[in-house]
Structure 1
């Protein structure tokens, strides 16, 4: 049996940072690669099954390199010189050189890039617990919108299914945008498994997948922890 593993990169990196903390680009890339191979071994109806890897598809957006105004510091932040950009580029480079890995990049909607108050800070301001004059740089988070990532995931699921290139697909993701593609794959006879990396999913999603599987108990033991 042949298996394709599709990874929502933004979701994966946030989840790993939440559970394992700060890692080097190589450590995170190696962790993902080794984790994907754990999906190849599974137990079905009490029998051990070994799948052959067709390919690992990794979806993400390249790091931004634009200058963005920060309302908290009243300064311009040049993201082309940030450690975050350097980390991401090294991570992609390590991952791209691994066998049977394909990188698929979407785009960032540049007009959507801005700093905004974090939800908890905004609530404090609205409740009168935090004065506007006391808002700090750490009360802000960078907000942006991705374009094309979900579309590329959906197109690859459809292509793999229609061409009968694999028997099963594992999608490492955390939201329900994949449901139409999952339904299509299942109609084509593909075994479709979701890996939410230990995060709970909506109950009705079980109607559209063939299984929910996380291969690392560390993720399952900390299902709700978020990156601050």
Structure 2
């Protein structure tokens, strides 16, 4: 059976870090290959994520300028690997938010706030690829790593068009039941050794 693996990078990053693993290209590749069963023939691994935010902003209390720096080298590394394709969304800076709520009565400092970022375009790209696979019939099964219920319409579309959707779950993590309702089956995998 021909398959494609679709990975929501933000979701995988959170789960891997909670489980004590480093979210980097070698480990992402190990996780992707751990999702494939011996009877399946891999067409492609699609990885969806955003490069780190780069830009200058003003700190919320002091008003001092603060520069966000980062590199997309790891995304380029991943894109160069066999059978990988990287689909990039955009990371937007939405300001600063308090680290703790309620806010303490003491005088606030910049250290009491953290940056608030929002991923844009990742879910849409996952949905478009699922729709393309449904239309072109290049695979028979989609293996999906996500925790985002925004993917449900694309999952429904794929299933209506004859593709199977396998939802990957990991140890010690509860997935939204709605995602399971709209997949054909749950594929539980153990974290690969680092």
Q: TM-score range by the shorter chain?
A: 0.7 to 0.9
Given the alignment of the two structures, is residue 106 of structure 1 paired with residue 85 of structure 2, yes or no? Answer: no
Specify the SS of the correspondent of 1:182.
helix
Match of 2:40 among 51, 56, 69: 51
Q: How does 1:1-228 map to 2 (within 5 A)?
A: 1-20=1-20, 23=22, 28-41=24-37, 49-80=38-69, 85-86=70-71, 89-109=72-92, 112-118=93-99, 121-123=100-102, 125=103, 130-133=104-107, 137=111, 139-198=112-171, 199-216=173-190
Q: Extract unaligned runs of 5+ from structure 1.
A: 42-48, 219-228
Q: Distance in 2 between matches of 1:74 and 1:177?
A: 37
Q: Distance in 2 between matches of 1:161 and 1:180?
A: 13
Alignment check: 8 A CA contact 1:174 1:196 kept = no
Q: Distance in 2 between matches of 1:145 and 1:98?
A: 27
Specify the SS of the correspondent of 1:170.
strand
Q: Extract unaligned runs of 5+ from structure 2.
A: none
Alignment check: 8 A CA contact 2:60 2:110 kept = no
Looking at secondary structure, tell me which structure has more helix per residue. 1
RMSD in angstroms over aligned alpha carbons? 2.1
Q: Scaled by the length of structure 2, what TM-score is found?
A: 0.88
Q: Distance in 1 between matches of 2:179 and 2:9?
A: 21
Number of residues of Structure 1 aligned to a counterpart in Structure 2: 191
